[in-house]
Chains A and B, each alone.
Chain A
Amino acid sequence: MSTVDERTPEAEEPESPTNRPPGMHLATRWMERPYARRIILLTVIISAVIIALTFVMVAFMNLSGGPASDIQGEIEKTMYVLTFTSAPLMGFTLAILTYSWWGGWGKVKGPEEPTEEGPAIRTNGVAVVAWITVCSLLAAFLVIWGLVELATITASSYGSVPANQQPNAAKAIDINVTGQQWVWSFQYPDQGKITSSELVVPINVPLYFNVTSLDVVHSFWVVEAGVKIDANPGAITNTGFTPNKLGTFNIRCAELCGLHHAYMETNLRVVTQEQFDSWVREMGGAKTS
C-alpha cells in the first residue's frame, strides 16, 4: 500500500494540474481504490495460468508423435495466438469472479435478506466503450489471423485447386481416397493404380487427395498431419499435405458412419522415397515418374 501513498500527493499537486491529462488523473484515482490492484494482480496471474495451459494442450496434441506436416504446425501456432489473445479478457473475467466469490467486496450469508444495498451503478460510459473497443479489436485480430492462416493452410493443402494446376504439380502424388463402411482404401492412379488399405507416402513430397465415399458420410482425418475432410457419397472433396516427419501416424474416421465407426482407422506410413518406390513395386505398380 505504500506505493499508493507515494502517488497520491503527486496527483493532487495544485500547482500543475494541466501537466497531467484528466484521464490519467482519473485512472490514478481509480488505482487507489483498495480492490483495483488486487484485481489486476489476479488478472495477471490467471492469464499466465491460461497461457501456461496452452503449452500443456499442445503437448497433448503432440503426444502421438505429431506434428507430421506444416499444416499441423500452423494449427498449433494458431492455438497459441488464439490463447494469448483471449487470455487477458478471460483472466480479467475470472479475476472479478474470484474476487467477488472470496468476498473481496464483502458478502452476505445466512437466510436473512441483506439489509444494505450496493452502489447504484447503472452504467459506466468509459467501461462500456473501453470494453466494446477492446473486445471488437481482439475479435478483429482473431478474424484477420484466422483468415490469413486459413489461406495459408488452404495453399499448403491445395484447397480446391486441381492437382494438375498446382505450381509443383509435377512432383505431387495424387491419391484417391475411398471411404466405405468401415474401411479406408487408397488408390494411387499415377503409380499404376495400385490400391492399398494403408496410406504409404514418401517424405517431403506433396500429396493431393481426392476423397469420396461409397455409402454414407465419413470424415478422412490424418490426425498428426492436421488434415480432415469429409468423404461424401456422390461428391469428391479435396485436400492435401506434405508430410515432413518419418514414422507411422493415425488415420481415423471423424464422422459417425454406422456400427463399426470406432474401428474405421488405419495408418499413415511416411517413408523415404526409396522405400516408397520399392513399396510401389511390391504392390505391383509402376515406379514414380
Chain B
Amino acid sequence: MSATTTGTTSPEPLSPTTGEPVSEVARRNRLGIWLIIVSCTTGTVALLVAYAYLWSLNVSGGWAPTAGQANWADDWPFWAIALGMVVATLLLWRSWRVMQSGKSGASVALAGLASLIFLVCFIGQIMQIATFPFGPQDGAYASATLWLALANCIWLSLAMFLATAVMNRARVGRIAPDNASQIQFIAMFATYLCIAALLGAVFTLTMKASPNQSSPAFGTFQS
C-alpha cells in the first residue's frame, strides 16, 4: 500500500474511501463490533432464558421428550462443535498476530484453516440437527434444544463467510501488516460465537429432567 504516497502527509496508510487514517477507521469498526456483540448477546440470552425457564416450569409435564418415541439429545455433538469453533477462533487470533508481524502468507493459511474448520462444524451441526432423537413437536425440551442448535447453525454460516472473506482479503492485499485489525474484529466476533455455543452445551448438559414434577395437568385443578 505504501507504494505511492505522493501528496500524502500522514505516515499512516489512509482509507481510500474517506481519506482518514486507517487507525481511525479501525477505532470506529472496533466499537461497532463491540456493539453488535452486545446486541447478539441479548439474543443468545433470550434463547438460554427460554431453555431454562421452560425447564424450570415443566408446564403440563411437557418438558421431557415423549417417552419411548423420543429421547434426550446426545451431549457430545454440542461439545464437539463448540470445541471445533474454539480451535477455529484461536486460529483466527493467531492469524491476526502473524499478520501484524508481517507474515501475510502464514496469516492467509491460518485464516483459511479456520474457515475450513468452521465449515466442518457447520456440516456437523446440520448432521446433529438431522439426527436428533426427537422432532420439533416433541415437547419443550425438543423445541429449546432445536433452537440452540439452529441458532448455532446460522452463526456458523456467518462465521464461515467472515473467515473466508478474511482469508481472501489478506490474499489480495486488502489486509496488510499495517492494517491488520480487520482480522482482530472477526476474531472478536468468533470469540462471542464460541461463548454462545459453549453456553448452549452447558445448558443442554446440565438441565435435562425438570426439577418441577408436580405441574398441574392442562386445564384442570389437579397436579
Interface of A toward B, CB cutoff 8 Å: 176, 178, 189, 210, 212-214, 233-236
Q: Besides the contacts A213-B219, A235-B216, what 16 more A-B pairs have beta carbons closer than 8 Å?
A: A178-B219, A189-B221, A210-B221, A212-B216, A212-B219, A212-B220, A212-B221, A214-B219, A233-B219, A234-B59, A234-B60, A234-B215, A234-B216, A234-B218, A235-B59, A236-B216
**For chain B residues 173-223, which have a beta carbon within 8 Å of chain A?**
215-216, 218-221
| A residues in contact with B221, CB < 8 Å | 176, 189, 210, 212, 236
In the complex the two chains form, what is the Cα distance from A211 to B216 in whole Å? Answer: 12
Query: Which B residues lie within 8 Å of A176 (CB)?
Result: 221
Main secondary structure of the interface of B (DSSP, over half): loop
Q: What is the bound-complex CA distance between A281 and B9, given in angstroms?
A: 100
Specify the chain A residue showing the minimal Cβ separation from B217: A234
Report the bound CA distance from A213 to B216 in whole Å.
12
In the bound complex, how far is the Cα of B220 from the Cα of A78, in angstroms?
A: 36
Q: How far is the CA of A81 from the CA of B219 in the complex (A)?
A: 40
Q: How far is the CA of A101 from the CA of B137 in the complex (A)?
A: 63
Give Cα A26 to B199, complex, Å: 62
Can you list 21 contacts pairing A with B, beta carbon distance less than 8 Å?
A: A176-B221, A178-B219, A189-B221, A210-B221, A212-B216, A212-B219, A212-B220, A212-B221, A213-B219, A214-B219, A233-B218, A233-B219, A234-B59, A234-B60, A234-B215, A234-B216, A234-B218, A235-B59, A235-B216, A236-B216, A236-B221
Please report the C-alpha to C-alpha distance between residue A210 and residue B219 in the assembled complex, in whole angstroms. 12
Given the complex of chains A and B, what is the CA–CA distance between A210 and B221 in angstroms? 8
The CA-CA distance from A212 to B215 in the complex, in Å, is 13
Most buried by A among B59, B60, B218, B221: B221
Residue of A nearest to B222 (CB): A236
- Could you say which residues of chain A place their CB within 8 Å of the CB of B218? 233-234
How distant is the Cα of A176 from the Cα of B220 in the complex, in angstroms? 9
Whole-angstrom distance between the Cβ of B57 and the nearest chain A Cβ = 8
Taking the closest CB of chain B, its distance from the CB of A263, in whole angstroms, is 22
Which B residues lie within 8 Å of A233 (CB)? 218-219
Which of chain A's residues has its CB closest to B59's CB?
A234
User: In the complex, how many angstroms separate the beta carbon of B132 from the nearest chain A beta carbon?
Assistant: 24
B55 to chain A, nearest CB (A): 15
The 8 tightest CB contacts between A and B, nearest first, are A234-B59, A214-B219, A234-B60, A176-B221, A236-B216, A210-B221, A234-B218, A236-B221
Q: How far is the CA of A235 from the CA of B62 in the complex (A)?
A: 12
Mark B128-141 against chain A: 1 for CB-CB distance below 8 A, else 0. 00000000000000
CA distance A178 to B59 in the complex (A): 17
**Interface core residue of B59, B60, B215, B219 (most chain A CB under 10 Å):** B219
A103 to chain B, nearest CB (A): 47
Which residues of chain A come closer than 8 Å to B219, judged between CB atoms? 178, 212-214, 233
Tell me which residues across on chain B come within 8 A of A210, comparing CB atoms.
221
Complex Cα distance, B218 from A210, in Å, reads 14
**Alpha-carbon gap, A214 to B219, bound state (A):** 5
Q: Please give the distance in Å from A223's CB to the nearest CB on chain B.
A: 24
A178 to B220, CA, bound (A): 9
Nearest B-chain residue to A176, judged by Cβ: B221
Shortest A264–chain B CB gap in Å is 17
Interface flags for B106-147 (1: CB within 8 Å of A; 0: not) read: 000000000000000000000000000000000000000000
Q: What separation, in Å, do the CA atoms of A10 and B106 have in the docked complex?
A: 89
> A178 — which chain B residues lie within 8 A by C-beta?
219
Q: Which residues of B contact A236 (CB under 8 A)?
A: 216, 221
Interface centre among A210, A234, A236 (most CB of B within 10 A): A234
CA distance A89 to B82 in the complex (A): 57
- Cβ–Cβ < 8 Å partners of A212 in chain B: 216, 219-221
Shortest beta-carbon distance from A4 to chain B in Å: 58
A179, B142: Cα distance in complex, Å: 29
The interface residues of chain A lying within 8 Å CB-to-CB of B216 are 212, 234-236
Q: What's the Cα separation between A233 and B220 when bound, in Å?
A: 10
Distance between A100 CB and nearest chain B CB, rounded to angstroms: 40
Q: Which residue of A lies closest to B61 (CB)?
A: A234
**How many angstroms between the C-alpha atoms of A233 and B217 in the bound complex?**
10
Cβ of A70 to closest chain B Cβ, rounded Å:
26
Output the least CB separation between B2 and chain A (Å).
Answer: 50
Q: What CA separation (Å) do A236 and B221 show in the bound complex?
A: 7
Q: How far is the CA of A176 from the CA of B216 in the complex (A)?
A: 13
Give the residue name and chain of the B residue nearest to A213 (CB): B219
* Nearest B residue to A178, CB-CB: B219
Q: How far is the CA of A60 from the CA of B117 in the complex (A)?
A: 69
- The CA-CA distance from A214 to B220 in the complex, in Å, is 8
